[in-house]
């Protein structure tokens, strides 16, 4: 990590570091993300912040004047604004800094760090995270540039490799499980619990695979009706779940409810009169929508998000062969980020250097000009301006093009350039 600010840190936990029982505690809905961002931006040492929360991960990106403060602020905010405890987070989290944090976001947006290698839904989730941070005034120049590049890098990975060939999302893998459970899918009734993006993509995939009888249940009936209209399905309120379960063959849950909505009692009652017909439940939600105890009900077959991970690993050989090409692209994007980030950081130093030189030039011109007439002063003014420009042009160009934060801080120190309290972080906050 470089000595000069500002610094970038990413703190999070994912399916690679934590089971679903912990991930669901750290999950953030839109209100939770807003609360987290507002908490972070009240910290005078934090310049920028953004958060990404999906079914497989929750991550917080922070730009601050000190790398360790960025890390600790992100972790503290996540504990304060979610249900995960500090000891749980300490055991399950990862912390990445500077270019490692950028490379991780590029890999994430490209689907390289997803449960389903190459899946595409995460790109939209990253884009939504950046939009929400911008709405909260937390997306400054560094994170804005980082997230823009991440979205572009995700698109490049899918165009230039075959990393997304085949099933590309958790929902499509869930539908593959459904087809294995019910080869005669057209004659089965499926309940879609939830009406968000995951429910829509799952419903579309089910229709493409021949599902004939779909029912959309949602807490808000208007949302259920809107999705049902797109799918050619029937809509019902979530309150009718107990009435709908006995006639269902499969339930796919993907709400953002903070607690389970399908209980053991619901499932036991639904299956009590149909011992010869199983009920398959696929829980795509984090936090989980289906009580884990449902797995113990005779006739119930429950898959949660971690079960999907175990079901898909065997089908990823082809995509894994593309990983070397994909990682090479990520490495190129990290180099691009380094150059852009250095340019962002050194620009205020270059501006300060020119301002400093101009102040000295004007002072010397004023002193010498007292003994000169108007024409001589104009000639000296033009000469001194040209001299300063030519002296600084090459060093400034090199600093912008190949300079680092270390070089920028050296220039600031050597020339005694003044910075605002808090250094460049203050300048970046003002720029946002």
How many C-beta atoms lie closer than 10 Å to residue 271's C-beta? Answer: 18
Q: Kindly state the DSSP code that residue 321 receives in the 8-state scheme.
A: T
Helix (H, G, I), strand (E, B) or coil at 281: strand
Q: Which candidate, 6, 12, 5, places its Cα nearest to that of 33? A: 12
Q: Which two tokens stand for residue 281?
A: 């439940």
d(CA 18, CA 261): 23
Q: Which two tokens stand for residue 284?
A: 């795509």
Question: 106-137 burial by CB neighbour count: b if 16+ within 10 A, else e?
Answer: bbbbbbbbbbbbbbbbbbebbbebbebbbebe
Residue 81 annotated in active site: no
- Tell me the HSE value of 402 on the side-chain side, using a 13 A CA sphere: 3
Contacts of range 393-398, beta carbons closer than 8 Å, 24 or more positions apart? 396/350, 396/353, 396/354
Question: Alpha carbon 222 to chain centroid distance?
Answer: 29
Q: How would DSSP label each residue in 64-112? A: ESSHHHHHHHHHHHHHHHSS--HHHHHHH-EEEEHHHHHHHHHHHHTTT
Decide: 246 and 268 in contact? Cβ < 8 Å: no
Burial of residue 8, with CB atoms counted within 10 A of its CB: 0-12 exposed, 13-18 middle, 19 or more buried: buried
d(CA 95, CA 14): 12
Q: Residue written as tokens 């165009």?
A: 159
In the set 55, 81, 91, 253, the catalytic residue is 55
Q: Which two tokens stand for residue 386?
A: 């040209």
Question: What's the Cα-to-Cα distance from 166 to each of 123, 163, 216, 325, 364, rounded to whole Å?
Answer: 17, 9, 27, 18, 70
Helix (H, G, I), strand (E, B) or coil at 298: coil
d(CA 356, CA 37): 37
Active site residues: 55
């Amino acid at each position: 990590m470089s000595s000069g600010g500002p610094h970038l840190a990413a703190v999070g936990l994912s399916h690679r570091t934590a089971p679903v029982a912990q991930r669901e505690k750290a999950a953030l809905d839109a209100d939770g993300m807003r609360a987290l961002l507002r908490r972070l931006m009240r910290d005078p040492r934090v310049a920028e912040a953004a958060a990404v929360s999906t079914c497989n991960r929750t991550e917080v990106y922070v730009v601050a004047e000190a790398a360790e403060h960025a890390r600790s602020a992100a972790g503290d905010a996540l504990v304060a604004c979610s249900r995960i405890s500090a000891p749980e987070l300490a055991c399950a989290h990862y912390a990445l800094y500077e270019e490692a944090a950028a490379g991780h976001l590029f890999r994430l947006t490209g689907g390289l760090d997803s449960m389903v290698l190459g899946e595409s839904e995460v790109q939209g989730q990253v884009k939504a995270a950046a939009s929400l941070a911008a709405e909260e005034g937390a997306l400054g120049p560094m994170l804005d540039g980082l997230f823009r590049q991440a979205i572009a890098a995700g698109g490049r990975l899918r165009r230039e490799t075959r990393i997304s060939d085949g099933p590309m999302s958790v929902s499509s893998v869930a539908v593959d499980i459904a087809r294995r459970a019910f080869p005669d899918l057209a004659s089965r009734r499926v309940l879609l619990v939830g009406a968000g993006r995951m429910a829509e993509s799952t419903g579309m995939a089910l229709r493409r695979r021949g599902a004939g009888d779909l029912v959309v249940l949602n807490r808000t009936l208007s949302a259920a009706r809107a999705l049902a209209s797109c799918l050619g399905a029937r809509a019902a309120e979530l309150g009718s779940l107990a009435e709908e379960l006995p006639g269902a063959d499969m339930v796919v849950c993907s709400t953002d409810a903070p607690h389970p909505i399908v209980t053991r009692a619901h499932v036991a009652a639904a299956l009590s009169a149909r011992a010869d017909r199983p009920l398959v439940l696929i829980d795509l939600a984090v936090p989980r929508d289906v009580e884990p105890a449902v797995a113990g009900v005779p006739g119930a077959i429950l898959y949660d998000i971690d079960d999907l991970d175990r079901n898909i690993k065997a089908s990823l050989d082809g995509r894994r062969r593309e990983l070397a090409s994909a990682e090479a692209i990520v490495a190129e994007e990290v180099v691009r980020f380094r150059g852009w980030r250095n340019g962002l950081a050194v620009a205020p130093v270059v501006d300060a250097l020119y301002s400093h030189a101009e102040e000295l030039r004007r002072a010397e011109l004023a002193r010498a000009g007292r003994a000169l007439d108007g024409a001589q002063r104009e000639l000296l003014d033009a000469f001194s301006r040209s001299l300063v420009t030519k002296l600084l042009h090459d060093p400034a160009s090199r600093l912008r093009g190949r300079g680092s934060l270390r070089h920028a801080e050296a220039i600031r120190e050597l020339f005694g350039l003044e910075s605002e309290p808090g250094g460049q972080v203050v300048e970046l906050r003002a720029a946002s």
